[in-house]
Structure 1
């Protein structure tokens, strides 16, 4: 104590007054401060820490008298005593509360008999109304057996996998619980730390509840079970009721599901394999994840040898057994099986649920599927509905989507999931054809090209990088037309010209940005849709166009509720802007021409404002049509996979040449009823800020203005609806039947003139382009086109007028669409 006082005094004197004295002496002033009066010093000594501090600062040596530190030490002891007293009180109170809570749980927790287990609950999937069920998951396959008939190593394999201390613990593993609690607190996870007895209590007495109160009750219940049942009985009940994947509950059902044998006949290796996958049987099924299944198998065999359940020789001979092929359960039977699989895959992919959660969680899953519209979609697309003319062997895939939030309204993926697991919406691919063209058009708009730019739409045409000339469907030529007309009539030569400027990589990247998933080929034919993609992938991309450049995630699950109606999951519906709204609106404006006077004009009869695009694969191996209002999109695709799965040419049927126009027909049938009673919506206005001829003036025919010229090609319209006899724009005729009466062919000379077509009026030319020829189907002699007409604007930049005089009319016969 003396040395402490001495040090303190020296520090106060030398550190404070010493420096002050040196500075003061130089100025000839007083070198030391006044010493306070003794009474003041006494008051300072007794006034506590504040006064002592003041004296210390002033250099008073008496401020740190020998009695000061002892008093401070006694004060510190008092503080520590208070602190420890408070802590001890809290610990004691917590202990009392804990004992009280434990006593309460012990008294209030009943142990029901095993035959009244609250077995794993069934998860049910509902339509969008939340009340009408689509189906359920995990059809329960259970067969209770006497464990006395099982080989001893079956139970020992389960113990090795799940709880090595099972035969010595009292139903709970304190270390495991503490370890799990620490992980839960520090990492925010939910670990069980469960023994076999706790799992038995959790899964079959209480359900899979992970709250701390539930875990506490589970531990109490495990202790009570241990008191009332012997270990072998607990293990037997556990093995008879545990979920083991493949819809199998219990070891007997699992033995049948994996090895097609009874549990009493399981080998050591087979028992080890089943036991190893208990924590995640659906995910670790050898048919799903063979690597993890092998790791778990090796672990169980190693522990069984270490714990003396099998000999070293038996362990050395153990090999991963071969399982039988997985069998689809009856819950997936019929067309709804595809919906259930999509729901399951979407939720597992979201990482919010595991396969086992969905099988045993007792959830209420509400989908986005509208029951009435789903029934309508089935009737429209299925051979068992209204689609009776579709030849056997052809496949149909279709989907309808809410473009604002990406919710799937309805779909047709196949007839029966059990018969064919390949989903025609999400799995099967088809060559998308000209439905890729709108993404090229959007790419051009983004690069500053005006849709009034004129291109040569004649056929055939040579292009760099192509080994053969490019032709339009049916060899039709359209003269010089703008991008509005080229889109409506799906003119290949114009879009190939456009692609020469854009590049395949840029077109593919625009499609990907829009949401088209899958492998998009990047080559000379990218713009013509030579890629095999899914119905869902293409619908996703077009949803972005319809939604003014905002991309949404297509989804089939709206939300998931637990058994207390608490929401556990909600679908992502927030859109992401990926394109300028005006750019996509301009593309949609061009696509409206497809409905108004192009390849999808059958849909005009619905009487709603719509945009669309048709597509035909090379050699007509697939045909498709996508169309939409500002709120609702639908896509139909038909393809011919052939006997060996390779794409084959679609045969002509029921007047549809190679199936062309048929997807547009299905689209019309569906949307006419789906939009019944829905008010018509207009697309947002779009303004074309691009430059004719592109930014450098070299695209198409450049910035030059073209006068009307007579050109071959186009189709003569045998009816009287609109744009009759429009040759230059290559429009389809709208004759009395669903097929066009006359197709104006290049160089037609009347040698093969039909007798069914009637003479059309002057054709509609392209903007700044050539007037069409009036295509009259003669009686074998061919007719000369109408006289030259005057120029006049029509919607979409189309010029109206007759073709130049002297051009030969087309031959009669059924017209084909330009895809």
Structure 2
């Protein structure tokens, strides 16, 4: 080491400097260079690109802001007529009457004005007129095809109502944003609020608060109370769903919740005293009145067509909600062709008149004013709704009885239980397959048992009649509640409700409990016609379609195929059909249907139903080419509460004037069907079970029962005076799957399963079997 090096070493602490190392080259790098991606995407370049895009967006928005002017508002001029046609193209009706009367904001009480702000846009009085986050979300949802937007301000909704339209496009949303910003700068908040409440759609054909005040409360806007204003403000979210006259129980709960939300927001904004708020009660609106040009059945048909179209517009993302869709349809310009067959529609109306309404005399019997008939007829091969009866007259009764879902279908639900048993391959708790000839205990009030444990349910049969051991076929014929209550538990109520959903019943919110075996849920004739049409179509799903086509001046709407997929096995559906022929030939519908002189040997399947306290009565039945569901509903003519039908028309029955499904509903069905069906036809069934199956041999008369009924049923034996041509009389050649109880009772004992000692359904009353 030289002196110079020693000196430097001492200065460094006595150590020689280590030799410099060459920096190692990372794997994949050559020549000491950084990776290509790191050289291209440096943080400076990324940040620069981001700011560049931001500047580009800002520049584009400024250009859009300068380019888009506030257009001339001309909403009334945009409204046109809608044209409605029968399936053959002939005119049904034309609508185009606009129910709107604008009022100055000074004519609307201040607290009523504030209900709309509390409902839709609490920051209205101090915002800039737009909700950037909500608009951005709406644009993104539109681009992604979700078709849902939320968060619009009152200013934006007014712009959409008055200056633009309800179509869900990116360009429309951007125009809405720009016009809203400009409008908020140029006009006062009172001007915008007045425009909003005068152009919004409230349902019942009412545009604007003045028309809405008249439609719902029969008063002028200046006379509205704060609680009435809160209901009208709540309506804007879903006019059809929240309309008290049309709403389901769920819809009414949602309407009241929205009403409470509005008033609670007013308290939070210090616009309403908390003490006064606690005293306010929900203001039930008055019954609606029909619009001009909707007399007779026309209004019901138009409403049904509009409802179907509105749902499709929402499904296709062309409207945010049913409320927006309704406004879009009411705006006009549509040509809507229905599947309604003009001839069959007339035949159905005549059948109801001849068999029922001509016999009603409210002046003589007050109960006659409470009878509300409804019916729907469907082609099971195409799903087309061929005829619909909504009520006596749209002017006299606004609610469509064909589509309402607030009455129990009662025993017309029993075929669904059997369909579930067959589709699921279910067995009794004794291990026997459930089939048409399976033996059950038909004792009235018998407790349902689930593998040895009573489930707390034991419904009585109609008139508390005992049957003892009987086949499923006989239980269906006589509509024996105790049998189907036990069968539902044997199958599993979750599976029963699942099959009901597959067949076409709206089971949303329904509990899978044994009481549902009595048909204690709500259902409409349209819904029941769809379920039975799926059975008639061999288990291939049929969704009743009211509309054939819908075309707008700017576009057309693609409608879904009413015929869907196989939802239950064909053999299961065909077996149910086979069993239901017994209800017509030997059961509760035999008097009205089987013995009708116009039957002419036509093969028929169907089921009767009589609900809780005789508040509804049903017959849903079908031939191979026509399915029709008829319901009678007891509705108080003034309060619209559910009331019994008992005593209507002065009918005297074994039930003391009770209107069973086998009386007027079955009579209407037979009068219509045998007139409208065309040629006589037979079912094409793939099954070895049920009353429609031709027996291979006569059962032996030497069979003896191991269990006998507690007493002989008092109902009359099967008739043999008018058997169908496709099935020999049961007295001379009974099917092998169903031995006659008089001469060849079943040999196997009933299952050990059981039906609750509380015979009440969730609605608080028992359902009769028929």
Q: Given the two structures, how large is their TM-score scaled by the length of structure 1?
A: 0.58
Tell me how far 1:573 sits from its aligned partner: 4.1
Tell me how far 1:411 sits from its aligned partner: 3.0
Tell me how far 1:211 sits from its aligned partner: 1.5
Tell me how far 1:381 sits from its aligned partner: 1.2
Q: Is the 1:481–1:729 Cα contact (8 Å) retained in structure 2?
A: no
The structure having more radius of gyration, on CA atoms, is 1
Superimposed CA distance per residue, residues 415-467 of structure 1 (whole angstroms, 9 cap, x where no aligned partner): 1355446654444647856994796598589657798969999xxx9889499
Matched, 1:732 2:709: no
Question: Which shifted more, 549-558 or 398-407?
Answer: 549-558
C-alpha separation in 2, matches of 1:184 and 1:6: 66
C-alpha separation in 2, matches of 1:78 and 1:99: 30
Tell me how far 1:506 sits from its aligned partner: 3.8
The residue number in structure 1 matching 2:684 is 683
Matched, 1:630 2:624: yes
The residue number in structure 2 matching 1:666 is 668
Q: Is the 1:595–1:604 Cα contact (8 Å) retained in structure 2?
A: no
Matched, 1:585 2:574: yes
Matched, 1:398 2:375: yes
Matched, 1:372 2:332: no
Matched, 1:356 2:323: yes
The residue number in structure 1 matching 2:7 is none
C-alpha separation in 2, matches of 1:340 and 1:533: 21
Match for 1:764 among 723, 726, 732? 732
C-alpha separation in 2, matches of 1:148 and 1:530: 50
Question: Which shifted more, 336-345 or 374-383?
Answer: 336-345
Q: Is the 1:196–1:238 Cα contact (8 Å) retained in structure 2?
A: yes
SS in structure 1 at match of 2:628: strand
Matched, 1:414 2:391: yes
Q: Is the 1:399–1:408 Cα contact (8 Å) retained in structure 2?
A: yes
Tell me how far 1:731 sits from its aligned partner: 3.0
C-alpha separation in 1, matches of 2:75 and 2:262: 32
Structure 1 gap segments, 5+ residues each:
17-48, 53-67, 693-702, 710-727, 736-760, 774-817
C-alpha separation in 1, matches of 2:552 and 2:596: 44
C-alpha separation in 2, matches of 1:221 and 1:430: 50
The residue number in structure 1 matching 2:198 is 240
Matched, 1:211 2:180: no
The residue number in structure 2 matching 1:33 is none
The residue number in structure 1 matching 2:756 is none
Q: Is the 2:477–2:586 Cα contact (8 Å) retained in structure 1?
A: no
Matched, 1:293 2:259: yes
Q: Is the 1:558–1:570 Cα contact (8 Å) retained in structure 2?
A: no
Tell me how far 1:583 sits from its aligned partner: 3.6
The residue number in structure 2 matching 1:783 is none
The residue number in structure 2 matching 1:794 is none
Match for 1:330 among 283, 286, 290? 290
Cα distance 1:260–1:315, how it changes in 2: closer, same or farther (>3 A)? Answer: farther
C-alpha separation in 2, matches of 1:126 and 1:607: 34
Q: Is the 2:119–2:261 Cα contact (8 Å) retained in structure 1?
A: no
C-alpha separation in 2, matches of 1:50 and 1:454: 81
Q: Is the 1:592–1:610 Cα contact (8 Å) retained in structure 2?
A: yes
SS in structure 2 at match of 1:289: helix
SS in structure 1 at match of 2:163: helix
C-alpha separation in 2, matches of 1:72 and 1:507: 67
C-alpha separation in 1, matches of 2:445 and 2:303: 46
Cα distance 1:149–1:187, how it changes in 2: closer, same or farther (>3 A)? Answer: same
C-alpha separation in 2, matches of 1:671 and 1:244: 40
C-alpha separation in 2, matches of 1:762 and 1:280: 55
Structure 2 gap segments, 5+ residues each:
1-17, 245-251, 363-367, 448-457, 705-715, 724-728, 743-768
Tell me how far 1:141 sits from its aligned partner: 3.4
C-alpha separation in 2, matches of 1:91 and 1:454: 75
Q: How does 1:195-206 map to 2 (within 5 A)?
A: 195-206=153-164
Match for 1:645 among 640, 643, 646? 643
- Alpha-carbon RMSD across the aligned residues, in angstroms, is 6.3
C-alpha separation in 2, matches of 1:641 and 1:261: 26
The residue number in structure 1 matching 2:352 is 381
Tell me how far 1:679 sits from its aligned partner: 8.7
Cα distance 1:356–1:122, how it changes in 2: closer, same or farther (>3 A)? Answer: farther
Q: Is the 2:624–2:682 Cα contact (8 Å) retained in structure 1?
A: yes
Superimposed CA distance per residue, residues 18-65 of structure 1 (whole angstroms, 9 cap, x where no aligned partner): xxxxxxxxxxxxxxxxxxxxxxxxxxxxxxx9753xxxxxxxxxxxxx
C-alpha separation in 2, matches of 1:371 and 1:241: 37
C-alpha separation in 1, matches of 2:436 and 2:444: 22
C-alpha separation in 1, matches of 2:550 and 2:124: 36
Q: Given the two structures, how large is their TM-score scaled by the length of structure 2?
A: 0.62
SS in structure 1 at match of 2:22: helix
C-alpha separation in 2, matches of 1:251 and 1:531: 36
Q: Is the 2:131–2:152 Cα contact (8 Å) retained in structure 1?
A: yes
Q: Which of 1 and 2 has higher RCO (CA within 8 Å, sep 6+)?
A: 2
Superimposed CA distance per residue, residues 741-766 of structure 1 (whole angstroms, 9 cap, x where no aligned partner): xxxxxxxxxxxxxxxxxxxx996254
Matched, 1:9 2:42: no
The residue number in structure 2 matching 1:545 is 535
Cα distance 1:116–1:198, how it changes in 2: closer, same or farther (>3 A)? Answer: same
Q: How does 1:237-636 map to 2 (within 5 A)?
A: 237-244=195-202, 247-256=205-214, 261-264=219-222, 289-303=255-269, 305=270, 320=280, 323=283, 325-331=285-291, 334-339=296-301, 352=315, 354-362=321-329, 364=334, 367-383=338-354, 388=358, 393=368, 396-404=373-381, 406-417=383-394, 419-420=396-397, 424-425=401-402, 426-427=404-405, 429=407, 436=414, 440=418, 443=421, 465=446, 492=478, 499=483, 503=487, 505-506=489-490, 512=497, 513-514=499-500, 515=503, 535-536=525-526, 538-554=528-544, 556=546, 564-567=554-557, 570=560, 573-578=563-568, 580-592=569-581, 599=590, 600-602=593-595, 605=598, 610-613=603-606, 615=608, 625-636=619-630
Q: Is the 2:377–2:386 Cα contact (8 Å) retained in structure 1?
A: yes
